[in-house]
Homo-oligomer: A and B are copies of this chain.
Amino acid sequence: MDFSRFDNHFGEVDLEIERLLSGEPEKLYKAARHITFAGGKKIRPLLCMLSCEALNCDKKDAVKTGAAIEMIHTFTLVHDDIMDRDSLRRGVPSVHEEFGETTAILAGDLLFSKVFEVSDTRAVGILAHAAAEICEGQEMDMEFEERDDVPESEYLLMIRKKTAVLLEAATKAGAILGNGSEGQVSSLAKFGLSLGMAFQIHDDILGVTADEEKLGKPVGSDIVEGKKNLIMIKAKELLQGDERDEFTRILGNGKESDIERGIELIKNSGALEYCMEKEKDFMDDATNSLKDLPDTEAKKSLLELANFVIRRDS
């Protein structure tokens, strides 16, 4: 997908964030800017602005709130990296790696404060509620690591909170700022939520099937690290007898040499097909939820963006 036609959208959001993240003490603001401007696709503010435009309003009404949503995303990345001890993010050292943990905690808090300084008043409740759910989702994710079995339903609830609600907040807030009717707000919210679910499941699939160089991290590492995701849960459920025992032994055993066999077992199990089917279901939900909206350039872009999400290879 060619994102260059959205350069103007991204430019306005960047300007807004730059303005918000100028201040003192210098070290703190530098830390807050560090991964903000180290790349990242800025899909969330784009969803917010396009949702506003899909209701024939000007994107400028959604720039500040789009910036706010991107800062929620960045704030969670900064704190998640501390919790997960991840030392790299977007190809650069993570904030705590570069500035120390205390400044990283504060930089996250500062980003979060700025969210509510800039967001349109009408979106504050939506954003705050999404942020609380993201915290719940992250806690669930961490608790999953210490459990042997996680049912699919709990996993889907976790990714809904951790990932999908912020995309939902983006499209919903955009629709509200675009003065949408109740039905339109609910349609666009549904679009964001379903897209978010598909987005996360696609990530899980990529973690096993992607080209390692394009993905930028080791393929299959989730298996031996004991991460619970839909593929692992489903593979464990579908495998039988010896293969199931073998897979259970490999899960979370930390042995890199077992990754290849783990991937093979997943492929044998049919779990990949199951996840792709699930992804397609969410994608269909997303697409369907826009069917009553007027045909606009923005709606076309939203559908194209959705398609990109499930076709990307990294």
How many copies of this chain? 2
Contact A105 B83 (CB under 8 A): yes
**Min distance, Cβ A174 to any Cβ of chain B, angstroms:** 19
Contact A109 B79 (CB under 8 A): yes
Residues of A81-135 at the interface with B, using a CB-CB cut-off of 8 Å, are: 82-83, 101-103, 105-106, 108-110, 112-117, 121, 124-125, 127-129, 131-132, 135
In the complex, identify which listed stretch (A42-50, A136-144, A231-239, A282-290) lies at the interface while the others stay far away. Answer: A136-144
Contact A110 B135 (CB under 8 A): yes
Instruction: Count A-side interface residues using an 8 Å CB cutoff.
Output: 37
Interface: A250 (CB within 8 A):
no
Complexed CA–CA distance, A268 and B306 (Å)? 72
Contact A24 B79 (CB under 8 A): no
Chain B residues lying within 8 Å of A28, measured Cβ to Cβ, are: 135-136, 139
Residues of A215-263 at the interface with B, using a CB-CB cut-off of 8 Å, are: none
**Min distance, Cβ A5 to any Cβ of chain B, angstroms:** 33
A28 to B, closest residue via Cβ: B139
Report if A115-B102 is in contact (Cβ < 8 Å); known contacts: A23-B136, A24-B136, A25-B136: no
**Min distance, Cβ A129 to any Cβ of chain B, angstroms:** 6
Known: A109-B131, A113-B131, A115-B128. 11 other contacts (CB 8 A): A23-B136, A27-B139, A79-B105, A79-B109, A83-B101, A102-B142, A112-B131, A114-B128, A117-B129, A121-B121, A121-B124
Query: Can you list 16 A-B contacts with CB-CB less than 8 angstroms, sorted by A residue number?
Result: A27-B139, A79-B105, A82-B102, A102-B142, A103-B139, A106-B135, A109-B135, A110-B132, A110-B136, A112-B112, A113-B129, A113-B131, A114-B128, A116-B127, A117-B132, A121-B121
